[in-house]
Structure 1
């Protein structure tokens, strides 16, 4: 599906929430979904970045998005429930949820990994994802066919030295997807994971500061698979682990 050609109206009348929508892949996905007809709920922690994405979507004459600022590091269960009520009241249903927001943390041996660092990553990369999913499942079930996409990583499918906290959080993400997909099997909600691979983002630059970013694909180049998994052409896909790029040499994995 890496060369999937999405119809212009693939996401017409769909309501899709994207976390981490202010930067990188989340920003590209939000704009791409809007370009294909979706009303996008932009969730992120930085209001100014969300407003910039909002402005870009409006400049493209796409459906007007909704801004929902929320810091996943500090959000409470009440925050998630309040957001879910707003989505329900405004739209009545939710067709898609892209879990894109995440923290990288520091690369170091597990022997030296501060437990506080692990707890922080698990809070954003795992606990917040589950809390948000729990809150939104009732409104997702109101859609004829809803898609949940969990963002994975190659180090969440095969462990690699020094990627400790991040790898642990992504293994947990894969497990969460599989459990939820099994629980949703046969229902109107489907769940899959997507490893974007090495991509030209700020997080990638933080992990590989000496790497030439021009050798990497841009977030926009990965959008065919993001569109496929969010649109109705993937209604039969559930509990699958997708990768947006062919495998690269080990030293270049994401």
Structure 2
């Protein structure tokens, strides 16, 4: 695993947005950040799941989180603009954003990728990330030091047969992260991407249904990198894709 010693309360007084916060890695990141003192903003498409994470955080005695129900596949630019305006009005600044939500689509030969699947994957994995980042960056620049984190994959820097739309979307994600990092290199905003590696999630199970789950890392196992990139220890770290394991 990524070698980083997590310090108690290292995210105190930080406001951090997490997409895909109702399940898997997003849920674990939300719980972990909250335990470390952050006020988390839970964004996801399923209200019931977000409410369950909210209840878990409140049971920890952590700062009260906020919930934003939003389906990235159907959201418009105005939805993101309005969301960012609400965040700016209510919390003043955004110290971190973990753009974690992704869509796998289907694993098919390249010539058999269905156009609608392609469009859906690109909408969730690329276009929504682009619109989210555009909307959030002005509020993040209000923070003393802000961290924008995208989610990549092992197939995001080396193409893999049959992973067509998803793989290509992650190449685009890494490119977007690098462009933002370069544009804001002299600012208080840093921008990186995480490759979580083989982790026990529903997406992983749909890609590898016969895999032995006992050999996979849990979302909790990979949290050191997720915490590092949101903590002040990573100030100056920008434009990189880092591996969680």
TM bracket, shorter-chain basis: over 0.9
Q: Which moved more, 1:156-165 or 1:108-117?
A: 108-117
Q: How far apart in 1 are the matches of 2:66 and 2:172?
A: 30
Unaligned runs of 5+ in 2: none
TM-score of the superposition, structure 1-length normalised? 0.95
CA offset at residue 3 of structure 1? 2.4
Spell out the pairing of 1:3-82 with structure 2 (5 A cutoff). 3-82=3-82
Aligned to 2:224: 224
TM-score of the superposition, structure 2-length normalised? 0.99
CA offset at residue 50 of structure 1? 0.2
Unaligned runs of 5+ in 1: 246-254
Q: How far apart in 2 are the matches of 1:44 and 1:196?
A: 19
Q: How far apart in 2 are the matches of 1:101 and 1:241?
A: 17
Cα deviation, 1:38-88, whole Å, max 9, x if unaligned, reads 000000000000000000001011111000100000001111111011101
Spell out the pairing of 1:184-199 with structure 2 (5 A cutoff). 184-199=184-199
The alignment yields a C-alpha RMSD, in angstroms, of 0.7
CA offset at residue 118 of structure 1? 0.8
Specify the SS of the correspondent of 2:17: strand
Q: How far apart in 1 are the matches of 2:99 and 2:143?
A: 18
Specify the SS of the correspondent of 1:161: coil
Q: How many residues align?
A: 245
CA offset at residue 205 of structure 1? 0.3
Aligned to 1:212: 212
Cα deviation, 1:215-248, whole Å, max 9, x if unaligned, reads 1010000000100001100001000110011xxx
Q: How far apart in 2 are the matches of 1:156 and 1:109?
A: 17
